[in-house]
Amino acid sequence: METPTLEAIEARKLLLSGQAPAHLRVNGDLDLSHEVSLTVLPEGLNVGRLVLDHCPALKALPAGLHCISLSACGTPLTELPDDLHVTSRLDLSDCKLLTHVPKGFAVDTLILRGCTALEELPEQMHVFVLDMSGCINVQRFPTSGPEQMARLNAQGCTRLTALPSWLKRVGQLDVSGCARLHELPEGLHVVTWLDLAHTPLRQLPASLQGVSLRWRGVAVNERIVFHPETITTQQVLEERNVERRRVLLERLGYERFLAETQARVLHRDRDAGGERRLLYVPLQNDEPLVCLEVRCPSTGRRYLIRVPPTMRQCHQAAAWIAGFDNPEHYRPLVET
């Protein structure tokens, strides 16, 4: 039987009408994003680049689908067909219901960003770029996988406890926000950079000594990451790069910075925890640092919370922290 071949514009009409034949071959790329009526695609569809982003009724991909790249962000897909063939790039960002990727799945770039229902990655996957950021339910990697990757983005994988032993070389490694990742494997080589902001990592294995480090995307050195106690207020004030200064400030701690720079008190009042103060420090070529100092009514502990520089009153800042744009609407009955 002859395989039907259509230009993208004709194929699009047919696909949206639900009349497209099986094994349809499409010349060119197809963008069917945001098509609310799209529920099914024909078996064996063969297309260059296929975009299915935010098609709310598309719950499954057809068997035998072939494409160079496929983007199905924000769709209600729960699993991928075993014979799905995507050569270059598969983007499944924010597929919140996705629970299964087939064993041995192979694609150059696999994006699983924000796939919050996914608990396991496939065994024997062949990927060169893996973005699993925000996959908050993935606890561990499979037992086998590629020895090298151009990029592994595990940002915000808060349940992840270890990186895989099979991974030997990775170009860019982002483990920022992996709150349970206490160590990186000895023998792992990072080619380009390693982002380790907000992790419990306290040192690097020998194979990573001297590697280029990042803190939430900002280039930093080992001292800033592992020895924040050596950062001085003066260094923060003298740092000309705004992004780097913010990292220095965060690592130094707002509390110490405000104390050592003798912050100006913009406003003070009282709440259930006692006195609270709105503190202000001007920064060169940057917005000023404004923080609300509060005490917890239960524990008595003091906290400093950075707020927008436009804040002028403690109540206004507390309302902003609680998510109120209008401070008039923020009237807590009890604070604990």
Partner 1 sequence: MKQTLPSLPFQTGWYSFGLPGYRSCRGTYERYPYESLPPIAQEQLTGQLQWLVPLNARIDEAMQPYRLTDEQEAAQITEWEDGLKSLVASAKHLGLSLPEAYLRLMSSVELRNRIPSCTDCSFTISQLAFCPGDREKGYVLRFLHDQQDCVIWHLYLSASGEQCVLASHVYLDQVYTNPEAFGLLTEDEAIKHTWMCAPSFEAFLYRFWMENVLFFALIQKEPLTEEQKQYLSTRSFGGSGNQR
Q: Does 89 bind partner 1 (CB under 8 A)?
A: yes
Q: Using CB under 8 A, which residues numbered 236 to 265 contact partner 1?
A: 240-241
Q: How far is the CB of 220 from partner 1 (least distance, A)?
A: 9
Window 42-81: contact mask with partner 1 (x via CB under 8 A): -------x------------------xx------------
300: which residues sit within 8 A by CB, 6+ positions away? 273
Length of the chain: 336
AA letter at 243: E
Q: Does 226 bind partner 1 (CB under 8 A)?
A: no
| Cα–Cα dist 315/299, whole Å | 21
Q: Does 295 bind partner 1 (CB under 8 A)?
A: no
Out of 158, 161, 165, 207, point to the residue binding partner 1 (CB under 8 A). 207
Q: Does 100 bind partner 1 (CB under 8 A)?
A: no
Q: Does 210 bind partner 1 (CB under 8 A)?
A: yes
Q: Does 196 bind partner 1 (CB under 8 A)?
A: no
Q: How far is the CB of 229 from partner 1 (least distance, A)?
A: 20
Q: Does 109 bind partner 1 (CB under 8 A)?
A: yes
Q: How far is the CB of 190 from partner 1 (least distance, A)?
A: 7
* Nearer to partner 1 (CB atom), residue 40 or residue 211: 211
- Which is nearest to 41 in space by CA: 68, 71, 11, 3? 11
Q: How far is the CB of 153 from partner 1 (least distance, A)?
A: 9
215: which residues sit within 8 A by CB, 6+ positions away? 176, 195, 196, 197, 224, 225, 247, 250, 251
Q: Does 37 bind partner 1 (CB under 8 A)?
A: no
* Nearer to partner 1 (CB atom), residue 91 or residue 293: 91
Q: Using CB under 8 A, which residues numbered 115 to 174 contact partner 1?
A: 128-129, 148, 150-151, 169, 171-172
Tally DSSP H helices, then E strands, for the chain.
6, 17
| Cα–Cα dist 7/27, whole Å | 5
CB atoms within 10 A of CB 19: 9
Token duo for residue 3:
């395989």
Q: Does 203 bind partner 1 (CB under 8 A)?
A: no
Out of 25, 85, 159, 189, point to the residue binding partner 1 (CB under 8 A). 189
For residue 223, the 8-state DSSP code is H
Decide the pairing of beta strands 218-220 and 30-31: unpaired
Which 3-state string (H, E, C) describes 265-290? EEEEEEECCEEEEEEEECCCCCCCEE
Contact 270, 294 (CB under 8 A): no
The contact set with partner 1 (CB under 8 A) reads: 49, 68-69, 88-89, 108-109, 128-129, 148, 150-151, 169, 171-172, 189-193, 207-213, 219, 221, 240-241
